[in-house]
Amino acid sequence: MVALYVLLGFILLLVIDYFVIRGEKKYHPAFQKKYEVVEDVVFDNISVTIPADSYVSKGHTWAELQGNGLIKIGVDEFILRSIGRFIVTNLVNPGTVVKKGDVIMNAKLGDKNFNFRSPVDGTVNFVNDELVGKTVFDPYGEDWGVMVSPINFERNAVSLRANEKVVEWMKNEFIRLKDYLVEMSVQPQLAGVTMLDGGKMVEGAVAHLNKESIKKFEDEFLTI
Amino acid sequence: MSEYHLDIDNQFGLLFDASECIGCGNCYEACKKENDLPATNPSRLGLAGADKDFLKDHLSDKTYTVVEEYGDIYARKMCMHCLEPACASVCPVGAFEKTELGPVLYNADKCIGCRYCMQACPHNVPRYEWGSTSPRVRKCILCYDKLKKDGITACAEACPVEATISGKLPDLITEAKRRIKENPDKYYPHIYGLEETGGSNVIIISPVPFEQLGYSSKVPKQSMPTFTMQAMEKIPTVVSVGGIFLTGMYWLTKRKNQLAKEENGKGKG
Amino acid sequence: MQKSEVRSQKSEDRDQRSEIKGQVLKTGRHRNSQSEIRNLKLNGAKLSFWKIVAVFIAVVGVYSLFVRFTKGLGASTNLSDFVPWGLWIGIDFIGVGLAAAGFTIAATAHIFHNHKYESIARPAILSAYIGYMMVVALLVIDLGKPENFWHPLVMWNIHSVMFEITWCVICYSTILTIEFAPVVLEKYKFDKLLKIIKKITPAAVILGVLFSTLHQSSFGSLYLIVPAKVYPLWYSSFLPVHFFISCIAAGLSMIILSAYLCARAFKQGLNIRILSGLGKGVLAVLIIELVFKFVELYSTGKFSLLFAQTGETYFFWLEIFLGSVIPIWILANPKYKVNRTGLYFASISTISGFILNRMNVCVTSLVRSSGQSYSPSFEEVGITLFLILVSVLAFKFIVENFRVFEEKVHDEVEVSKEEIETKDLIFDK
């Protein structure tokens, strides 16, 4: 029987912890809704998670419909992988009316700035104050960006992708990113900066580019 | 194994004959007296109770031997003083010692109190002073000092009917065989302790199968330390083969990575 | 969108940030209003739930230790002459087994030069180190004469498995110290010593693997000498091999589980790629273990015991289902093997089976032969929980003060630099 007591004690601890987290209205890392994509060949040793049941925009921001009709918005993991460990500097003010493609979040890494754009039209209701000044760790959980009350979400949703479609598209985005990095790295002004190590992509390679190239990166990957 | 193989001819032992035992309890009393052990059964403590209450006593840190009642047969329980004792082989600090005279002795000063001896003993003999803050393992020591001096144990000396006799182990074995041979109807044809655990200094003969008297029949016939030695003797092989393998892998994978790096460097250039 | 339109927020120190959380909530700029009050309440409760539990365990633990050392083992435990080893030995087995990742990961990263796992080598070694310290502490508490704990160092009995384990654990703890030393040394910038240590690390890792192999298996060897006492379903002359194989699966699973616990406690992301790699390892080991176990049961003629209507049989099957069948099913399923929920349950299941296996070997299997049932006393449970609590706190303290997680290191440096720059930006405006 002792064996059972010890086993139950172990499981009980985990179960209580699960409910403590639930009580805090936080996500347990094991039960966050995410797709895991692990394909070494395509991703050059990079694994990516994709938010489940939410819409992902061309500009690598995701939108998730909440129970109360609001839309939660954040950035996807592609951004973390390509840019590196950036810091969110600013979020759009609550009350602002945003259109699809408007900047809602500023970020920086070193002296490089990045802007992320809204995937939907609507009015900003809440912003995640805790995110400002912080490095994004958990883009689909605690580190969401803003919540908007949408205007005509159905129309927006047509141009967004969800679930399996995101997986396919995401693979393509990485291939595109790799091509882009190769293209940038042959330019002479970038000599000395190695973004590709033995043909493999270095995580956070984009941050090493010069400002001009980053502008191009933004046009290619962040605009909607 | 050889370390445990002492000269049996010079070793003392004990023969207990269950068919002779009358359950008088003299051995029990003598043992208590010889080892300065406190009384542990109601009647001897001056409490009300049947005359033969010692029969209900059990081995403990205050009782090294007991007489148990199985119908009209009496059986003694105590340390068997194995020729190759499990307790001595498992003790991490060597607190148990198989002496040349035969008795297995315990040294409380060495003991760390891991109780592996109690776990390992095939006869469940060692008892612990659970109530103490510096507990010792307690068990029959075959009256080591008395044995050295007088050549006889207290229990054997006290036995009125030669149910328990002590002496040189070969003589005891001969005596046991003689008793069985002379009275084949009276005895179950087996000497308990001759083969069990590879032999022990205490041997027992009985009129009924030993299982019926609470002596475990599951006790292996080979000496207990061999079970462990089968695994322990592989250690040097594991260490040397494992060491060579790991070192080899270390250099191989390191070299492989180096080559891969050089290759990449060339590719880029 | 212009800069001026974007609201800038003073970037507070993280600690201050959490203090002003209540204020932020009141201003209604956080999440949605319905859950605000509820949130506030529960945030208050969250801060204290595990803390209250911790204080409770600490009080119980200190009291239990007091009873243990003033009144002795008899008064503080339910151990007896027939059950000389109880909960504590079982917890030692489990603790050492779960710390096995320390050597498997160190070997993968430093001997087989698989760089993928380098980032988890430090946390693995740290948890192994703390695990071993806990086990050693519990073993000493379990000793009848704890003041004599140093005796095996000078009084040798090379025939004793316990002696071998003692030495291996001592040597391996030393090696873990060497493996973990860089983390401490680099913080205080002992560069010379660091260089020496880095040089001897490969040798230390190899020795560490050898010592681990020896004592992980030797915990199984402890029971080789009691063939008549251990229930045949668990007794095997290959017990040391079983112990060794199962500790690898359990250790890797523990790394997976602790990644989740760290993600939860230190707000980190999960690297599913690494975790699913570990999952593959667990799967391979579990299959080997399961096949080996049943082939052995068959070849030694114990197959009929699997269907005997005894308590032992049920415990054995529960162990097999939890520790082998379920995790193998999850990990072999392409849908779950890279899925965070799948990996989480696979690791919990493997560890549960492992816990059951060790407790079965050291308690369940001996109940029949000892003829006495045993359940741990209040003090035994109290001291066990207390030591687990101390281990968790030690792990937390070290993670928070040293560079254990590579990623976190990177961020902290980055954050402090960035925060200054962000502030400048605000003043510019």
Provide DSSP, C114-181: -GGGHHHHHHHHHHHHHHHHHHHHHHHHHSSSGGGTTHHHHS--TT-HHHHHHHHHHHHHHHHHHHHH
d(CA A92, CA A116): 11
Query: What is the chain C residue with the closest CA to A66?
Result: C32
Q: C354 to each of C57, C241, C262, C295, C392, how far by Cα in Å?
A: 25, 14, 21, 19, 20
B256 touches chain A (CB under 8 A): no
C144 to B112: CB separation less than 8 angstroms, yes or no: yes
> pLDDT digits over B207-254, tens only?
999 999 999 888 899 889 989 988 888 899 999 999 999 999 999 998
| Separation of alpha carbons C246 and C324, rounded Å | 10
Of residues A197 and B78, more confidently modeled: B78
Residues 168-187 of A with CB under 8 A from C: none
The confidence band for A185, taking pLDDT boundaries of 50, 70 and 90, is low
Look at A101-110, A178-187, B111-120 and tell me which has the smallest mean pLDDT: A178-187
Q: Which helix (H) or strand (E) holds B104?
A: strand B104-106
pLDDT of chain C, 429 residues: tens digit per residue: 333 333 333 333 333 433 333 333 333 333 333 334 334 344 444 456 888 999 999 999 999 999 999 999 999 999 999 999 999 999 999 999 999 988 999 999 888 888 888 888 888 999 999 999 999 999 999 999 999 999 999 999 988 999 999 999 999 999 999 999 988 988 888 888 888 988 898 899 999 999 999 999 999 999 999 998 999 999 998 999 999 999 999 999 999 998 888 888 876 777 787 888 899 999 999 999 999 999 999 999 888 889 988 889 999 999 999 999 999 999 998 878 878 889 999 999 999 999 999 999 999 999 888 888 899 999 999 999 999 999 999 999 998 888 888 653 333 333 333 333 333 333 332
Query: Which residues from chain A sit within 8 angstroms of residue B257, using beta carbons?
Result: none
- Nearest CA of chain A to the CA of B42: how many Å? 34
C23 found inside a domain: no
Asked whether residue A1 falls in the same domain as residue A66, the answer is no
Q: Which of residues 325-344 of C touch A (CB under 8 A)?
A: 338-341, 343-344
* B2-228: CATH architecture: 2-Layer Sandwich (3.30)
| Co-location of A10 and A40 in the same domain | no
What was the pLDDT predicted at C416?
Answer: 38
**Mind telling me how many Å the CA of C231 is from chain B's nearest CA?**
12
Q: Tell whether A15 and A86 lie within a shared domain.
A: no
Q: Is this prediction's ipTM beyond 0.90?
A: no
C311 touches chain B (CB under 8 A): no
Which residues, in sequence order, are bridge partners of residue A149? A123
pLDDT band at B52 (very low <50, low <70, confident <90, very high): low
Q: How many residues does chain B have?
A: 269
Q: How far is B249 from chain A (nearest CA, A)?
A: 23
Residues A53 and A121 in one domain: yes
Q: State whether A22 and A71 are in the same domain.
A: no
Structure tokens at A206: 């984009």
- Residues on chain B touching A199 (C-beta within 8 angstroms): 264, 267
Cβ count within 10 A of residue B85: 29
Q: Is A36 on the interface with C (CB under 8 A)?
A: yes
CA distance C406 to C109: 14
Q: Which residue has the tokens 């209040």?
A: C378
pLDDT average, residue stretch A86-101: 90
Residues A167, A214 within the same domain: yes
CATH of residue C376:
1.20.1630.10
Cα–Cα dist C173/C176, whole Å: 5
**Residue A1: per-residue pLDDT:** 82
Instruction: Dump pLDDT digits (tens) for B134-160.
Output: 999 999 999 999 999 988 999 999 999
Contacts of A among chains (3+ CB pairs under 8 A): B, C
Q: What is the pLDDT of residue C409?
A: 36
In the A/C pair of chains, how many CB contacts fall below 8 A?
A: 177
Same domain, A23 and A47: no
User: Quick one: average pLDDT of A126-140?
Assistant: 85
Asked if A100 and A194 sit in the same domain, the reply is yes
B219 and chain C in contact, CB less than 8 A = yes
pLDDT class of A36 with cuts at 50, 70, 90: low
CATH of the domain at A148: 2.40.50.100
Per-residue pLDDT, C412: 36
Q: Are A90 and C9 in contact (CB under 8 A)?
A: yes
Alpha helix segments (H runs only) across C304-375: 311-320, 326-332, 340-359, 365-370
Which residue range is the domain that position A18 belongs to? Answer: 1-31
| C184, part of any domain | yes
* Mutation target among C143, C159, C201, C205 for the B interface, most CBs of B within 10 A: C159
Residue B13 has pLDDT above 90, yes or no: yes
B44: Cβ contacts below 8 Å, ≥ 6 apart: B53, B54
In this complex, the residue of C79, C113, C155 whose CB is nearest that of residue B94 is: C155
Q: Do A71 and A119 have their domain in common?
A: yes
Number of compact structural domains in chain C: 1
- Residues C23 and C28: their CA atoms lie apart, in Å, by 9
Cα dist. B23→B14, B47, B211, C77 in Å? 17, 21, 19, 36
Question: Nearest-5° angle of CA C194, CA C169, CA C217?
Answer: 125
Percent of chain A past pLDDT 90, that is, above it, reads 20
pLDDT of residue C9: 39
Looking at residue A8, what is its pLDDT? 94
Residues A16 and A103 in one domain: no
Pairing assessment for the beta strands B12-17 and B202-205 based on DSSP bridges: parallel
Stretch A90-108: mean pLDDT, rounded? 90
What is the mean pLDDT of the segment spanning A48-60?
Answer: 83
Chain A interface includes B110 (CB < 8 A): no
Q: Calculate how close chain A gets to C8, using CA atoms only, in Å.
A: 5
Average pLDDT taken over every residue of chain B: 88
Predicted pLDDT of residue A50 = 79
Angle between helices B235-268 and C191-221 (to 10 degrees): 140
Chain C residues whose CB is inside 8 A of the B94 CB are 155-157, 160
Residue C196 in any domain: the answer is yes
Containing structural domain, residue C150: 33-410
The verdict on A16 and A55 lying in the same domain is no
Can you give the pLDDT at residue A41? Answer: 40
Residue C114: its pLDDT value, please?
85
User: Structurally, how many domains does chain A consist of?
Assistant: 2
Cα–Cα dist C99/C81, whole Å: 31
CB distance from B230 to chain C under 8 Å? yes
